[in-house]
Chains A and B, each alone.
Chain A
């Protein structure tokens, strides 16, 4: 009896979350794919054909014949979408690099901090991550506005003579992404640096390496898993970012997350938004699998 109970328990532990994620996370992607092959209609739901079990097999087969790749052809023919994808990728790459350059010294210094204050520092990095994304992005509007706090400050100091126009430009988007995703970059780098054996750098220095050379040849390569994880955690969501380009960017800023949102919410064109989402997912599937692989490996090593 107990053995039977144990088998059931073991099964349920796997099956319950498995089924949940399959139904609510995996299956929807197939629905997105299917709707991206439909055409827009003025109805509810606003697309055609709608599959219905009542149609019987012949009806369903007939409706499958109505699916078309017209939406993808439309996306390919309109430069707006291509530019949006390219510009999202460019913004995400640049912001990831800048975030890395800012995050690394912070993570490095945290790992070198006295052990007694490390938990506090760690807490201080994690805290903004728990605070709303929306709020943190919103906070920058008041700072970056032409009559905002940054310009007031710089004008008072006499550094500039007239206000800098930052809000509603790509500069504001870069600042927003770097700021919002900074903790995601600091944490993995810190955790890989913290685990590092300091005697290794000492050994390198004893063998005649300068501190800078010891950093580049010992410390940095050992922190690479953290750097890679951090870059993925910033790059992947940044490509599809919506809140930041919407609130901080200007009307001329093209980012695919914003395009998708507008197609869906303003134009109410569900098939086109589904096609936009499918392409975005295809672009990101390789980085996502790379991230999952690295993460699973890191967790495996933790055993």
Chain B
């Protein structure tokens, strides 16, 4: 029996208080009546109402969502392929370089990634805007998808794939009908992760975006530089809400899937 000491409980409580207190305070002050974000003056939702009339902000939100949806979807396809390549083919020419290109973007300072992608777009003569932004987001988020899917593939029982192939299924059919259903929860959480990363990104977006393609974080950043206002708190609260909901849905879906899988396996053994 492992005991949970007072020290353990204290570390967890303090750790989580540190992680969550700033976010909680930010959310609370988005409902502040006063324009000051440090003095409480009563409950109000007026900042949210004001948001609805801020056309520039709404436009930015729309750009952000579109970039997020497109880039997360493409990144999920590419990242899943990359994960397959990493786990299934342990030796091919340039595998070291390949795994380097998967892991390096995870830690690469964003200023470097952003600048280098921008210079690529300029060098090939692409006009900066919505599509360059989307390309950049696909590139840096696909590596996160690859890592998430890879960890699922590593614990995947390959014998069922071999069985399908022995029964005459083509590799594509095997992948679509056998592998994909099993790794679907990981692919889905990869998509959600890619979407939120795209939604949140400031630095890479700032380098690779152009006129007419201002994202929400870029807009928030330019307003934050002018000072802290409850209106920004309100935008942030909405974003936090969306992300929290997405993560919650993703975890419920994957837990349901897991329960279903265990049930199916038990049923199969019972036969």
Contact = CB atoms under 8 A, between A and B. Distances in A.
A106 B139 contact: no
Contacts of A21: 82, 98, 101-102, 139, 142-143
Contact of B101 (A25, A103, A239): A25
A179 B107 contact: no
16 contacts: A18-B85, A21-B82, A21-B101, A25-B101, A35-B119, A105-B15, A114-B4, A128-B23, A132-B239, A134-B200, A134-B217, A148-B38, A182-B15, A237-B108, A261-B203, A299-B150
Contact of B23 (A27, A131, A288): A131
Interface string A67-83: 00000000000000000
A131 B103 contact: no
A108 B11 contact: yes
Interface of B: 2-5, 7-9, 11-12, 15-16, 18-20, 22-23, 25-26, 29, 37-38, 78-79, 81-82, 84-86, 88-89, 92, 94, 97-113, 115-117, 119-120, 122-123, 135-136, 138-139, 142-143, 146, 150-151, 154-155, 170-172, 175, 193, 196, 199-200, 202-203, 206-207, 217, 220-221, 224-225, 228, 232, 236, 239-240, 243-244, 246-247, 251
Which of B37, B136, B151 has most chain A Cβ within 10 Å?
Answer: B37
From DSSP, what is the main secondary structure of chain B's interface residues?
Answer: helix
Contacts of B232: 138
A232 B236 contact: no
Contacts of B102: 21
Given A26-B101, A134-B202, A274 B111 contact: no
B98 A260 contact: no
A109 interface: yes
Given A142-B38, A292-B103, A109 B7 contact: yes
A139 interface: yes
A292 B22 contact: no
Nearest to B203: A242
B247 A17 contact: no
A14 to B, nearest CB: 4
A103 B18 CA distance: 11
Nearest to B220: A134
Contacts of B20: 124, 128
B26 A135 contact: yes
Interface in A21-47: 21-22, 24-29, 31-32, 35, 45
A112 interface: yes
A9 B101 CA distance: 21
Interface of A: 2, 5-6, 9-10, 12-14, 16-18, 20-22, 24-29, 31-32, 35, 45, 102-103, 105-106, 108-110, 112-114, 121, 123-128, 130-136, 138-143, 145, 147-149, 152, 179, 182-183, 186, 198, 232-233, 236-237, 239-243, 247, 257, 260-261, 264-265, 270, 273-274, 277, 280-281, 284, 287-289, 291-292, 295-296, 299, 302-303
A112 B94 contact: no
Nearest to B83: A17
B200 to A, nearest CB: 4
A270 B247 contact: no
B25 A126 contact: no
B15 A291 contact: no
Contacts of B243: 130-132
A17 B7 contact: no
A138 B224 contact: yes
Contacts of B225: 247
B171 A6 contact: yes
Contacts of B37: 142
A133 B202 contact: yes
Given A5-B170, A13-B88, A134 B139 contact: no
Nearest to B121: A28
Given A10-B89, A133-B200, A135-B240, A22 B170 contact: no
Nearest to B172: A9
B25 A239 contact: no
B222 to A, nearest CB: 11
Given A102-B15, A147-B38, 11 more contacts: A5-B171, A13-B84, A45-B123, A109-B8, A109-B12, A114-B4, A132-B236, A139-B25, A179-B18, A182-B19, A241-B109
Contacts of B98: 14, 17-18, 21
A273 B142 CA distance: 26
B75 to A, nearest CB: 10
Contacts of A14: 85, 89, 92, 98
